[in-house]
Chains A and B, each alone.
Chain A
Amino acid sequence: MKILVAGNSHIGALMKARAESPDDNIQFLTYNGNTLLQNLQVNERCELSSTRQHITDAIVDQGLKQVSLNSFDYIFIYGCQLRAAGNGENWLNVVISTGQGFSEQAHSVALRDYVRNTAHYRFLEEIHNWPFESHVKIVSMPSPVPNELAAFSDKQSLMTTENADKVKRFMENEIKSVGFDYLETPESLWNEEGFMTSSRFKADRGPDMAHLNTAGGHEVLKSIVAYTDTKSANVAA
């Protein structure tokens, strides 16, 4: 089972985890920021290229030059603004907004705008036309939400589990509506209330509240592998 995980800086924790537990079946394509996805293109053999030199360099450095995407069974699009934009604060804002008494319709439109305005979603729309073979499954996976130690304590008190769940469900449905599978970040990452990442998984860099540490990377990788195993078992059955 060959898996490619493409995305931005959030992949760093996954790469560290894989370095600790090597797995040749998992490959990464990553570039910091949100320029990766919007600058990717493929040829008729589904080989990646880019008109931007820094992205081309990333493709080469990460061993994906002249590698067909059809050689993978699963391609996970990870992060890229789907939840972590604004250093994670956007996640808090969107959940808080859910509890502020807007009409159902206004709130749905706002959430839809929020999801559709991400590099992640725009990329999913774009790759509909790429020449994937039928065995390749594309899975959308949001980045983890910010850590519970984030200095938004005044905002955290306005969040509720119920509203966070509403937003999670909405994101999932929105992504599925464009025809892609969706994998929520593993439950083990979330804090008790279910709306922030547990402090156990905070990145080692002091003020960084958006990224995971290596332990968190392991959790995400485990969930990716478990997901692909389950899917494949279902297909076999």
Chain B
Amino acid sequence: MNPYEQLPSKAFWKPAVAERSIFDIEELWDPKFFIRKNNKVVTFGSCFAQHIGNALKNRGFNWLNTEPAPFGMLDSSAKSFNYNVFSARTGNIYTTSLLKQWTEWALDEKPVPKVSWIKDDRYFDPFRPRIEPDGFASPEELHNSLLRTTQAFRRCIEQANFFVFTLGLTESWVDTKEGYEYPVCPGTLAGEFDAVQHQFINQQFNGIHESLTDSITMMKKINPSLRFLLTVSPVPLTATNSGKHVAVATMASKSILRAVTDQLSTNDEHIDYFPSYEIINSPVFKGIFFEPNMRGVNPFGVNFVMDTFFKCLERKFGKYPVSKAETAAANDDAIEAAHCEEELLEAFAK
């Protein structure tokens, strides 16, 4: 007898993939943790993380929101102010180094910078350039808002049972003078680009791994029971500054992020990985989950990913009780478009 004879059918391409309809492919994820409906789950990261938060909310899970919108604000307005998008109003956290930066601010490891970009007499937050649709009225208002979000982010770390983080990019922009990282290149959405001060860094495996490990270590110091669920965004880059073709840069970037998540989730019992990236990008699924531009993920794809997420949990841990309201809401999963500053880079395409 050899080891392969003992393996389940999911380990073999023919029965697991080739002989199945793509919609019958199952057991893509063997979850490490049982996420109970009353467990507090927070979601952060790249654009695709928003879909996970929405699906959790719609299915009656305890998606924790530590920075809710002002009372009375309708959902449509709240979305334009980036409330209820992530568990705190961080905007997209594309890189693991940005996650580390937020964590350091939240845990008082580093001071929250007082910096703003001015456009048409309004003040924009370099770390959340689209957080308010028209920017802030003053630098003080901006800074107070940023402080409020770092405190909300801290509450997420303190209170959550599960921290879901979607890794999005390796390409990043740093301020060499001040030492912090921006989620978008200065001069694109607001601010002015300074070729000396603003440096492009295409992060590599070791740096990404280290930033994520450092973030997790810091978070676990104040919440030792926190568990992490990592995903990699399946959405290709809008633009690359790497000098490579954007398709090649995308593949490199996602492969590195995927390798980091694999190493961490394989070696740490408190870290799991959910394969949303594979579900959308694997040739098995023939690209059917992409919009015609082959970048955006269509609502059908988002629903398929999230259905897979919950099916895998139920397969391992048993059925969740579902109310009628949740069923109705689940049918609306992810119809909303995700908020993504990076997409605005497309405006610079010639």
Is A227 an interface residue when CB atoms closer than 8 A count as contact?
Answer: no
**Cβ-defined contact, A110 with B77, below 8 A:** yes
Query: Which chain B residues border A110 with CB–CB below 8 Å?
Result: 69-73, 77
**Cβ-defined contact, A109 with B141, below 8 A:** no
Rounded to whole angstroms, the CA-CA distance of A94 and B141 in the bound complex is 20
Pick the contact of A114 from B71, B81, B83, B145 — CB < 8 Å? B71
Pick the contact of A100 from B70, B74, B77, B132 — CB < 8 Å? B70
B5 to chain A, nearest CB (A): 62
**Cβ-defined contact, B71 with A96, below 8 A:** yes
Is B136 an interface residue when CB atoms closer than 8 A count as contact?
Answer: yes
B233 to chain A, nearest CB (A): 27
Q: Which residue of B lies closest to A115 (CB)?
A: B72
A198 to chain B, nearest CB (A): 24
The answer to whether A94 and B137 touch (CB under 8 A), given A106-B132, A109-B81, A110-B77, is: no
A125 to chain B, nearest CB (A): 16
The answer to whether A105 and B132 touch (CB under 8 A), given A110-B77, A113-B77, is: yes
Pick the contact of A103 from B71, B72, B77, B132 — CB < 8 Å? B132
Rounded to whole angstroms, the CA-CA distance of A110 and B71 in the bound complex is 7
A109-167 residues at the B interface, CB under 8 angstroms? 109-111, 113-114, 117
**Cβ-defined contact, B71 with A106, below 8 A:** no
Rounded to whole angstroms, the CA-CA distance of A37 and B202 in the bound complex is 60
Query: Which chain A residues border B132 with CB–CB below 8 Å?
Result: 103, 105-106
A173-219 residues at the B interface, CB under 8 angstroms? none
Is B144 an interface residue when CB atoms closer than 8 A count as contact?
Answer: yes
Q: Which residue of A lies closest to B134 (CB)?
A: A105
**Cβ-defined contact, B145 with A97, below 8 A:** no
Rounded to whole angstroms, the CA-CA distance of A105 and B70 in the bound complex is 11
B246-275 residues at the A interface, CB under 8 angstroms? none
**Cβ-defined contact, B70 with A107, below 8 A:** yes
**How many residues belonging to A are interface residues under a CB distance threshold of 8 Å?**
19
**Cβ-defined contact, A97 with B71, below 8 A:** yes
A152 to chain B, nearest CB (A): 13
Is A101 an interface residue when CB atoms closer than 8 A count as contact?
Answer: yes
Query: Which chain A residues border B69 with CB–CB below 8 Å?
Result: 106, 110
Is B148 an interface residue when CB atoms closer than 8 A count as contact?
Answer: yes
Rounded to whole angstroms, the CA-CA distance of A20 and B119 in the bound complex is 62
**Cβ-defined contact, A111 with B72, below 8 A:** yes
Rounded to whole angstroms, the CA-CA distance of A93 and B68 in the bound complex is 13
Rounded to whole angstroms, the CA-CA distance of A171 and B144 in the bound complex is 26
**Cβ-defined contact, B71 with A109, below 8 A:** no
Rounded to whole angstroms, the CA-CA distance of A237 and B136 in the bound complex is 46
**Cβ-defined contact, B70 with A106, below 8 A:** yes
Binding site for A on B (CB under 8 A): 69-74, 77, 81, 83, 132-134, 136-137, 141, 144-145, 148
| 7 pairs, A vs B, C-beta closer than 8 Å | A90-B71, A97-B71, A101-B144, A103-B141, A109-B73, A113-B72, A117-B74
The 6 A-B pairs at the shortest CB distance, nearest first, are namely: A114-B72, A110-B70, A110-B73, A97-B71, A93-B71, A113-B74
A sample of 19 more A-B contacts (CB under 8 A), given A94-B72, A97-B70, A97-B72, is A90-B72, A93-B71, A94-B71, A96-B71, A97-B71, A101-B145, A101-B148, A102-B70, A103-B132, A103-B145, A106-B69, A106-B70, A106-B73, A106-B83, A106-B132, A109-B73, A110-B71, A110-B73, A117-B72
